[in-house]
Amino acid sequence: MKRILLAITILLLVPAVRQARADASMSVDFFYNNIGSDGNWVELADYGYCWQPAVAVSNARWRPYTDGYWAYTNVGWAWVSYEDFGWATYHYGRWARLRDRGWFWVPGRQWAPAWVSWRMGGDYVGWAPLPPRGADDFVDDHSPITGQVDLAYDIGPDYYNFIDVRYIGEPVLRERIVEPGENVTYIGNTVNVTNITYVNSRVYDYGADYNMVNRYSSRPIQQMTVELTPNVDPNNAVKTKQVVKVQGDRIMVASPQVLQKPSSPVAPKTVKEKIEKPTVDRGWKQIADPKKEAELKQKMKAEDPKKAPPPNIPPRQNAEPTQKAGASGTPVAPAKGATPAAATPANTVRPLGTAAPAASAQPALTPAKGKDKRANASPMATVGTQPQHEKGVKKDKGTEKAAEGMPPERQPNEPTTERETRKSKAEPRKAPSSRETAPEREPKGVPPSERVAPANQGAGQEAHGKHQTQSQKVAPPPQAPPGNVPPKSEAPQHKRGGEKKGNEPAPTPR
């Protein structure tokens, strides 16, 4: 028995020891050797060796954290990328933008679900890649990152990606990001709600209030679980594109949680160039007036993360219940095994970097200046249906009353009792005098034989049964006392084909 227990213990400890040795030996050269050939390493005087994706050179409008989607996990907001290099660039390190050169990734040692600053308020939510803290981003600083990050890191409006809160749950967000030229307006209408914390050397990103944005998102936000797999060789996972993969409601990560600081200087095998005096673009170039820039920074300084303005749109119908908070006040992890409305079908493994789902044909939401920010939002074919109230459409009176359970208007001079019916057969109808009120418009779609008398006809009128069949001949009820309301009787349905019985009074021609 002891031998069996010893064997089981060895089997459990060996993988952990192997992983611990792998983590201990892995440093920044893990990126140097595995990031791929979709970009180039460049040495920046202030930040060391940085990597620039090829797409950032070929497309001047490219921005980090745009080609993918957000999922809410047991470690907070996690960015799920469709780009081959996303396993590294969106979970380790920071981003810096150089003037006239575009975006560069500065590697880091700590894995996180996302390294971004969050803003929300009104109908919009936005996120921005965090800039590096300095020349050496490999410092062991586990200080929380809070709502003052815009000022602490000097993040300007142009760093942010804003979208309408209704689209935050979509599986493809790049088509929903608004024109960055309007970001100054969105910064003024939102509040920074960044909340990045460290617990047992693990990073948690809670940022935007999940309960709030999920209520107003047209598509429920995916709830998933991040699993750091300790028994997988990260180098082999990179070669097979299995570093990060989505399987059902799980995000399985094979890369190390923390990389070691190199004991001696290391460098990439190939360095394209060295930039001695890089000019960093902080994202403030939209504001030409220094006074307005100072006013916006003062607004950022006075922001209260707990007072983000709520959306001005109605919440999603049948919105999921809000998540309960844990003992620390942070949202608890979603229940394991829950089935979210995921973009990836359950039991399907999609390595990151594979083709994204087909994007919506609608153009990006780019509100024009001085107009309603949602004026250009086109209907979405990929999101949950939401009732649309059409204005200026008139309904037919008869149809509208029938829908409300009310009888349609009676045609003028129509017989309402059997006495009036017999009288109408014997006596011709008299032409109305000039003192009588003109007849109202005849309701559409209701034959005269199916119309019901108004509820109160006054004294002397009798209740009657309509459309009586030959097998259901019933004597008319006694005459109602004056002033009482005659009881209404429901008409039986016509037989197939619309046949009528012979004893049914025919409608009097007009």
pLDDT tens digits, one per residue of 28-54: 889 998 997 899 999 998 899 999 999
Nearest to 161 by CA among 185, 131, 125, 136: 125
Residue 356 located in a structural domain? no
- The residues that bridge with 81 in the sheet, in sequence order, are 68
Residues 6+ apart with CB under 8 A from 184: 157, 286, 287, 296
Quote the number of domains for the chain: 1
Residue 440 located in a structural domain? no
Q: Is pLDDT above 50 for 479?
A: no
Give the Cβ contact number of residue 46 at 10 Å.
14
Report pLDDT digits (tens) over 220-252: 999 999 998 878 888 888 888 889 999 999 999
Q: What is the DSSP letter of 381?
A: S
Nearest to 365 by CA among 376, 355, 357: 376
Report pLDDT digits (tens) over 387-431: 344 344 444 444 444 444 444 444 444 444 454 444 445 545 544
Residue 298 located in a structural domain? yes
Two tokens, residue 46:
């202030």
Task: State the average pLDDT over residues 293-314.
Answer: 94
Q: Supply the pLDDT for residue 310.
A: 92
Question: How far is 439 from 191, CA to CA, in rounded Å?
Answer: 62
Residue 404 located in a structural domain? no
Report pLDDT digits (tens) over 332-388: 444 433 333 333 333 334 444 444 555 443 334 344 344 444 333 333 333 333 334
Residue 409 located in a structural domain? no
Question: How far is 503 from 480, CA to CA, in rounded Å?
Answer: 24
Q: Supply the pLDDT for residue 375.
A: 38
State if pTM tops 0.85.
Answer: no
- Show the domain range for 251: 2-261+270-351
Residues 6+ apart with CB under 8 A from 15: 230, 231
- The residues that bridge with 49 in the sheet, in sequence order, are 43
- The residues that bridge with 275 in the sheet, in sequence order, are 44
Two tokens, residue 99:
């003037």
The H or E element that residue 10 is part of is helix 2-25
Residue 416 located in a structural domain? no
Residue 283 located in a structural domain? yes
Question: How far is 416 from 122, CA to CA, in rounded Å?
Answer: 58
Question: How far is 301 from 149, CA to CA, in rounded Å?
Answer: 10
Residue 332 located in a structural domain? yes
Two tokens, residue 277:
């005096």
